[in-house]
Structure 1
Amino acid sequence: MKKTTKEANKEQALLLEQVNQIAQGLGETFAPFCEVVVHDLLHPDHAILAIYNNLSGRDVGSPATELGMARVTDSEFPQIVSNYANQLPDGRQIKSTSIGIKDSRGRYIAALCLNVDLSLFRGLQNVLEQFGMIGALLNISESIRPGTSAAGQVRIDPIRIQPVGGGSETICARIDQFAALHATTPRALKSAQRRALVRELKSAGFLNIRKSMETVAQYLGVSRATVYNDAR
């Protein structure tokens, strides 16, 4: 028996509401590193119905993506597209999964999309790699020489600490490690955590690297003035 337009609309509305509930639950479970988006493909011009753990900077009411439009125009488009490479506007690498939702007539009416920020996991990977390495990020040198000081103790020259490398990648790797140790992402650090990070970078000599302030500010998603204040 063919459904009436009213019945079809009721079914679609119910499906959208259920998908939204699932999205909210996923968002709460995988915060802060997983953005969860509900797309209403019945209205592709303003498709985003809900967005949780917003990483991409989009708003509710933003239009459908190319993937969403492909489903709108082709009901045979794959229902699940998983773990494909994607990128946030600020350059962070993410992996995405998109799940199409069909009604009883086989028409795509919605999509549930998950975008995972990989920086936290790369930070954890860096932590593990550093644990098994010597001198990964810092070049520490000291000299213990024979002889005694005026107090009769062994004389030890000052320890010199210099960051290895010196590029923005070194700074970003250190930020990733700090965030991973706090089970979060660089841009989700709380103010107190961010201040502790910046002071740690300063004490280790990372802020002496050329354009380090700009690198830190961009990676944390704050202004340079904020970084300067945190470093005081």
Structure 2
Amino acid sequence: MNLQLKSYIPLIDFLAVVLGKDTEIVLQDFTDGLDHSVVYIKNNLSGRDAGAPATDFVLDVFKSKIYKEKDYLVNYRTKTIAGKELFSSSYFIKDEDEKLLGMICINSDKSKLLALRQLFVASIESLDQALMIDSPSTESQTEPIIENFYSTAENLIEASIIQETQGKDLNKYNLTRLEKISIVRSLYQKGFFDLKDAVSKVAEAFRMSEVSIYKYIQTVKQED
């Protein structure tokens, strides 16, 4: 683990105690690649362990270089391996040259508070009806999920392929060349090919050679 990042472990332990068991604190180290970036985790809610890969959100952070403009991002939605939605925030750890070394990610389960809020809203509506007070309609609004947690890099790549093929079983469905290029384009734009063995995993899913996948990547790069 990078020594600068290791110095944040006491802070993570402190936050884990202060924020409680419904809040997960994760330290990610990008100095040795993205395939095993999770190096420390407390109050595990996401189902990951140390050695888990970077998420789709992290890849997008690197692609967009938003860390050069901001020091942190707060209150975005994430989803665990088990499908539970969390409220998340991330702090960017950078060196003196603004290179992104790692991140501290805070993922909170606010389901109990949301349930309490729904109960409160329902109570207010009942009171309004009893008092014959017109109340504005309240429609449930949910924030889009912008990060999904995966336990391995293989899971991340497989999930991305499923998403891009709308859930088609590639063992039964033969993709056209245009569909394959479209999937490779989407994966490339998200930065998935920065992951180790990404090309070989896509080649395996497509039942093609790695050389063919590299040709598709070159085709996509020429579009830029």
Instruction: Provide the TM-score with structure 1 as the length reference.
Output: 0.47
Structure that is richer in strand per residue: 1
Relative contact order, higher structure (CA 8 A, sep 6+): 2
